[in-house]
Every structure is written in C-alpha cells, then in structure tokens.
Amino acid sequence: MSEELLGNCLVAQSGGPTSVINSSLAGVVSEALNHECIEEIYGGLNGVQGILQEQLIDLASESQQNIRGLRYTPGAALGTCRYKLRSEADFDRVLEVFEAHNIRYFFYAGGNDSQDTADKISKLAQKKGYALRVIGVPKTIDNDLVTTDHTPGYGSVIKYISTSIREIACDNGGMGQHDLVQVVEVMGRSAGWIAAGASLAKYKDNPNSAPHLIYLPEVPFSEEKYIQDVTKVLQKEKFCLVVVGEGLVDADGNYVSTDSQSADAFGHSQLGGAGEYLRRLAEENLSVKARSIKLGMAQRAAVHCASKADSDEAFMAGQAAVRAAVAGETDKMVILVRSDNDGYVCETGLAPLSEIANGVKLLPESWINEDGVSMNYNFIKYALPLIQGEIEVPFDNGMPQYIDLKKIKVDRKLAAYTLNA
C-alpha cells in the first residue's frame, strides 16, 4: 500500500474535443469526491496553456446536477488547447503553479501529444523531488493511441458517421440514375479508424449497400484505381457513396489534399480537402454529377447521436485515473482492456506514459479486404460493441439542454506569465 499523499487535484483537457470528453471529467470529479486525501478539486482552463497562466477553477463547488450534466454536454467543458510546452521556463512554471496550489494529483485528458506533455511534467516533478502523481486519461476520436484497445470518443464518432452515411444514402438513392457520386470526408490524420468505422452503415443483408468505397490513409491512393472503382459501382448501383479519411496519401506518402500548408504547434499539418479532390477527379474523368461534403466538427460534437457504451467507458476511465493515483500510481495512462471472452466486456488497466506519447496505432492490414476499399468481419466484430446504446439528452422547447459550469475561479498566487509565441 502506497503512502497516503495529501493535497489537491487538478484535471485539464487538451487537444480536439470528443462527444464524451466531459464524461471523463465527470468521472474524475465524482471519484475525487470519495477520497479524503484529495482536499480540493481544481480544473485547469484551456489545458496547459491555462495552467501556465494560473487559470484554475473550483470544481468541488459545482452542483451535482452540473457534474451529471457533463455526461450529455459536448465540447471541452474546461476549454482545451494545442499549446506545446517548449522551454525550460514553461515546465518550471507548471511546477511553480502546482506548488503554489498544493497540486499533488494531476489528470490530463488528451491524445498522443497530451500524454507526452503529461509524461514530461511527471518526470520533471520526479527530478525536482516534488511529490506529484500524474495519470493520463485517454481521449481521441482518432482511436490511434497505442497500448489501449480503443479510445473514449471513437465509438461515438463512428456511430454518428455511420448514421449520417445511412441517411445520405437514403437521399442519394432517390436522386441517382447511375450517375451520382457522393464523397464524404471524415477526420483521421494518420490512421483510418474513423473512415473504416463508416462500414458499420452497411446493412447485414446487403453487402453492396453504402458506403460503396472507403479510402484509408493506410492504403496508398491511386487515381487510376479510384476511377475504376467508381465506374464499377455505378454499373450496378444508382449512386456511388465514397468515404475518405482526411489523411489520404499517394504512393509517395504525400497528402493528396492541397489544403495542408499550415501546421499546429506540434508540427501536424492542418488537413482538409481530400473529399473535394476525389469529387473533382470523378467529375473530370466520368460523366457524372459529383458532390463532396465534410462532416467536420459535427463528428466530435454530436452528443445526440453518441454511444452510451462510449460515454460509460469515458466516465469509467476518469474514475480509474483517480483510483490509480490515490493508490500510488504515477506516470501512467488509463487504458481500456477488452475481455477475451465471446461477449464484450471492457475493463481498465494502466500503461506507462512513455509508451503512449507520440505513438500512432494504425488500422491492422488484416482487417482491410484485398480490394483496399472495404473492411472485413474482423473490423466489424471489433467496432460494433463500441457504438451500442444511446445517451439520453434532455430537451426543452424542442432543443437540447446542455450545461455550463459556473467556473468559480481560484485566487491567483503568482505573478502573471507570458506565453511563448
């Protein structure tokens, strides 16, 4: 049994939100309230950027109604950021803020880059001899974190996308005359997990139903093959519905999109345009009507079409993070572990942050059919349990009722800090 560590806890969110990121926040707060060694429960506004600026709020003062309401509220309730801790001054400032507010437990919800940040903060605290327990909470719609079976946020995004694909297919089916190509662009920078998830839209009794073609970042793109693929579909079907991941690359590994000139603080290209690229190819090479749409941010905010299984697992991950830290664990991330039994059961485990930081889990090649544009049963078996159940969102006067945290600010104790450009 680890020695009890008395002090305050701090939870923050980072990177792109998901439909269930706030469920993890609710899990952290709900569990932290159960442990006397955690004296105050603080939230960091806008990730590490807010921590640097000492923008902390008192989460223990929030009503239980608000904490419960986080589970059906989209977006990052604490605010998020893509700020990269670069300088020694940045890292020293984080510890300075932690010491000033007696932060002894730090929970960071985020993806690859966020877990790298958590890992570096944890190791710095150890080096400086500051007693701090750091646990990462997994979060990304991309489903590309290594060591975990899947990530909170993924089940909901593919539930929404698959639902949208079925609805778009119904629309296209009434308009196409073997001459309509509809391209749907979805998120997914380096891995095709999200695009692959669209395959759940297919009807079990009709393997030829939409989506007809799925183009993944893992499979090098060929313009010639694409035109052949679309032609084959239109010979049989009234329309061709194509799904493409934003990170689609050619045989040389270059993004096919022309809209990837800028990059974020972590050096990731800002993608977008793969769908329009495929639309233009179809229209220029075939006598068809071609359209493209980007599901955009709606993919990660659609709580009205979120997965209950996903939300429950996100909440469970937040709870597990607190329990692990109180038990003495640090420098770890909560992972989701799938049961080996026939029925689907999800439990939590832990993995070193250093193993997760900046790694990328690609879609297994064995889950992609030989045609390169469809998924086989192994993927369906993996993904289907993740989209089960629906979240009950309260409505009033026909509109969903989301919650806003009161965000009572914690008094600052330090001088102002200037962020690096």
Q: For the ranges 132-146, 149-163, 248-262, 378-392, which has the lowest average pLDDT?
A: 248-262
CB 142 within 8 A of CB 188: yes
Of 116, 119, 142, 331, the active-site residue reads 142
* pLDDT of 260 over the 50 cut: no
pLDDT digits (tens, 9 = 90+) for 88-143: 999 999 999 999 999 999 999 998 889 999 999 999 999 999 999 999 999 999 99
User: Amino acid identity, residue 300?
Assistant: R
* pLDDT of 171 over the 90 cut: yes
142 is catalytic: yes
* pLDDT of 268 over the 80 cut: no
Tokens 């993890």 belong to residue: 24
* pLDDT of 344 over the 60 cut: yes
pLDDT digits (tens, 9 = 90+) for 396-413: 999 999 999 999 999 999
Write out the two tokens for 64. 């239980």
How far apart are the C-alpha atoms of 334 and 352, rounded to whole Å?
Answer: 9
DSSP 385: G
Whether the pTM exceeds 0.85: the reply is yes
Write out the two tokens for 340. 């080996």
Secondary structure E strands in 28-152: 38-44, 56-58, 103-110, 133-138
